[in-house]
Amino acid sequence: MSIRMPYRVPRKLLYLAILLPILVPLSVSAQREPFGPFAVRDQFPVKLLFLSLRPDAAPLLPDGSLRLSTQFAYSNTYAVTSPVGDPTRAATYYQAAPLTEYRLSVDTETLRITFDLGWRIDDRWQIGLEFPLMVQMGGFLDSTIEGFHGLFNLSNGGRENTPRNDYGVYVARNARFWISEQQPPPVRIGDTVVRLKSPIVEAGGRFPSVSVLTAVKLPTGSFDHLSGSGSLDLQLALLVSQRIGASVVLHYNLARTKLGTPDQHVGFPVKSAIISQMFAFEYIASDRLSVIGQILGNTSPFPKGMLGPLDRTAYEINAGIKYVMKEDLRLEVGLIENVSQFQNTPDVGVHARLELTL
């Protein structure tokens, strides 16, 4: 016995009924704009003297819009080259090391506050200006980090053999100090950075968006206070953003930075350029929330040596969220953890940023 349908459903209508539950969410999700990677650069105190990559997405701001941002990045760093010595005395610090090698001792917590302006001036160009303030101190995180390392049976790298929450930044070569700071300097102005960004390919869907960015670091900081190198640095970067489906966006940055000659450079050569790369995975959870994980790598500004760690590429992982508080106000928070164990990155860092779009 067969049952006959009272009428036949049109095939196109049947297909539409099947696809509608899929197409509607995708069409809504497709309206979500990516938030972009975290604009947090390498926070290692010695490398903050130079210009390095500040991650960015390929798309420009909306036409005619102005974005004002304030960011707080706080990091704890303990890094000492082996063999360990007394970094306050250059001669003893070199008893078991070649004189031609760089020696390093960094024990500090660093707060970098940046005020950032981005302005889409026309169809092809977006300009940016970054103005940083630097604060270095002994801090308060040493015992917390030692406890975390102990919980997972991780090495402290000699941290437990030095006074907690102490301060000192030393870089020496040929038994002479290039940097020798025993007391935290006052709050000071860092090097100002001017950026210019322009699209190469403005695509969507299956094709990536690609932009080029140029940046110039102006020597408004002070080498004596570890807030700048005292020279011009120039950067050229390629920015790529690719949407994967409705809710995933991949971001990739590649940059080459030409370094100027720093102050007090006699006997302390640095490379002519560094290479930076960034890869970010962004999951757009909703119109108001994006979850981001990214990895940042920077080659060293210092020539190759036997001891490491200053000549090796440094890697850091950054993970957190961006959240739209209001239509024109956005908050981001994240945690930074070092990947490389070469004593050339901060141990841990946190950052927060507020963005206002006008």
Per residue in 95-153, pLDDT (tens digit) is 666 777 777 888 888 999 999 999 999 989 999 999 999 988 765 555 555 555 555 45
Nearest to 293 by CA among 312, 279, 277: 279
Output the pLDDT for position 137: 73
Nearest to 242 by CA among 209, 279, 212, 265: 209
Cis-peptide into 262, omega within 30 deg: no
Quote the number of domains for the chain: 1
Give domain status of residue 134, yes or no: yes
Give domain status of residue 195, yes or no: yes
Give domain status of residue 79, yes or no: yes
Give domain status of residue 4, yes or no: no
User: 352 lies in which domain range?
Assistant: 11-357
Give domain status of residue 3, yes or no: no
Give domain status of residue 6, yes or no: no
Give domain status of residue 72, yes or no: yes
Give domain status of residue 202, yes or no: yes
DSSP class of residue 145 equals H
CATH number at residue 192: 2.40.160.40
Confidence band of 32 (pLDDT split at 50, 70, 90): low
Tokens of 57: 């997405």
Higher pLDDT, 159 or 12: 159
Per residue in 167-205, pLDDT (tens digit) is 788 888 777 788 888 888 888 999 999 999 999 988 766
Higher pLDDT, 173 or 288: 288
Q: 311 - beta bridge partners?
A: none
